[in-house]
């Protein structure tokens, strides 16, 4: 049987990694020869999770061959997906994002719901199809939900995420709050990363009206910690702008304790951010965004609107 590769987006976050591993189980349940893979290095948070759960990370790939059957989780947009996807065959998508820059020649399985986390969509499938959720699967899904909803505190968090979180905690054998805090904290340690790496830990590229934008995000327990490195971060962003011909680069530093963000904004379309939030970018190329923690809900649509 032909192998099916399952993966999340480039610069994979915890949801992309964990949901691809869970989707592998789902695909195997339906008799597919499936393998979860990843499109980039693990971030600290995901590294912590897999160590803690004693699981091996999926194999890393950089492209797919023509005709390769693939299932996408946690993304659908071309810019965020694997190299070579245009000539691959997408047989399924499980996602929780807007749909854009995605098209197929044939019908496919496409299950997307406006929940806080791909794993919550997967959880619902397991439940509705009466597929047993084993302990490890529950731990992976729970970790993804903690990560994407910042322990249920993000405005993207829905009732469905809370419901899944509560059920999965029982099966997982974990103390979700204590484990979740450790996990999130592990993700905020940026000390071993270069500025180049930091701006790529969770960077998503978008194209709107021919304008190319990247919105990157890191979590922190203290915004000032990250801003002590603002100069080298801005330098790395400028380099990326000229190398990738970007019109806008927004780097969000999100305080997961106080649920605010401060962003460094560069590029010739940086006024789009000022318009989107009615704020002025200061002389340090920065803007403080009170109450903003969700790129998907509180940043991206606002900027797309302006662009």
Residues lying near its own copies in the complex (CB under 8 A) are found at 96-115, 128-129, 296, 301, 304-305
Closest by alpha carbon to 180, among 193, 170, 165?
165
For 195, the token pair is 């500025």
Residue with tokens 């702008």: 241
- How remote is the C-alpha of 21 from its chain's centroid? 15
Contact of 32 with 70, CB cutoff 8 Å: no
d(CA 19, CA 189): 23
d(CA 103, CA 280): 38
Comparing CB distances to its own copies, the nearer of 97 and 212 is 97
d(CA 152, CA 49): 18
Comparing CB distances to its own copies, the nearer of 26 and 195 is 26
User: Minimal distance in Å, beta carbon 123 to its own copies?
Assistant: 14
User: Minimal distance in Å, beta carbon 230 to its own copies?
Assistant: 31
> What angle, 0 to 180 degrees and rounded to 10, lies between the N-to-C axes of helices 176-188 and 135-149?
60
d(CA 293, CA 290): 9
Comparing CB distances to its own copies, the nearer of 159 and 283 is 159
User: Minimal distance in Å, beta carbon 296 to its own copies?
Assistant: 7
Residues in the chain: 307
User: Minimal distance in Å, beta carbon 28 to its own copies?
Assistant: 19
DSSP string, 9-23: -SS--HHHHHHHHHH
Question: Count of CB atoms within 10 A of residue 26's CB?
Answer: 22
User: Minimal distance in Å, beta carbon 102 to its own copies?
Assistant: 6
User: Minimal distance in Å, beta carbon 258 to its own copies?
Assistant: 26
d(CA 230, CA 246): 20
Comparing CB distances to its own copies, the nearer of 106 and 191 is 106
User: Minimal distance in Å, beta carbon 206 to its own copies?
Assistant: 11
d(CA 221, CA 184): 9
Comparing CB distances to its own copies, the nearer of 89 and 232 is 89
Comparing CB distances to its own copies, the nearer of 110 and 227 is 110
User: Minimal distance in Å, beta carbon 144 to its own copies?
Assistant: 16
Comparing CB distances to its own copies, the nearer of 6 and 233 is 6
Comparing CB distances to its own copies, the nearer of 119 and 200 is 119
For 94, the token pair is 């499980």
Question: Count of CB atoms within 10 A of residue 228's CB?
Answer: 10
Contact of 264 with 283, CB cutoff 8 Å: no
């Amino acid at each position: 049987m032909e192998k099916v590769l399952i993966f999340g987006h480039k610069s994979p976050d915890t949801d992309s990694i964990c949901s691809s591993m869970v989707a592998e189980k789902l695909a195997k349940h339906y008799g597919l020869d499936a393998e979860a893979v990843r499109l980039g290095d693990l971030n600290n948070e995901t590294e912590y999770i897999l160590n803690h759960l004693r699981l091996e990370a999926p194999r890393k790939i950089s492209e797919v061959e023509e005709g390769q059957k693939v299932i996408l989780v946690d993304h659908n947009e071309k810019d965020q997906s694997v190299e070579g996807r245009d000539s691959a065959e997408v047989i399924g998508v499980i996602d929780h994002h807007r749909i854009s820059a995605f098209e197929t020649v044939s019908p496919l399985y496409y299950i997307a719901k406006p929940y806080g986390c791909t794993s919550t969509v997967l959880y619902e499938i397991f439940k509705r199809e009466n597929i047993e959720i084993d302990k490890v699967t529950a731990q992976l899904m729970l970790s993804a939900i903690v990560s994407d909803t910042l322990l249920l505190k993000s405005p993207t968090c829905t009732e469905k995420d809370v419901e899944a979180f509560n059920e999965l905690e029982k099966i997982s054998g974990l103390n979700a709050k204590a484990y979740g805090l450790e996990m999130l904290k592990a993700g905020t340690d940026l000390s071993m990363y270069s500025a180049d790496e930091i701006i790529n830990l969770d960077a998503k590229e978008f194209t709107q009206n021919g304008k190319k934008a990247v919105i990157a995000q890191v979590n922190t327990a203290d915004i000032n910690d990250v801003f002590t490195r603002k100069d080298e971060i801005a330098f790395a962003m400028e380099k990326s702008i000229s190398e990738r011909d970007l019109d806008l680069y927004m780097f969000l530093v999100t305080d997961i304790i106080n649920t605010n963000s401060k962003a460094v904004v560069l590029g010739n379309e940086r006024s789009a951010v000022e318009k989107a939030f009615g704020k002025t970018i200061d002389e340090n190329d920065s803007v403080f965004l009170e109450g903003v923690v969700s790129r998907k809900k509180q940043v991206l649509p606002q900027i797309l609107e302006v662009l």
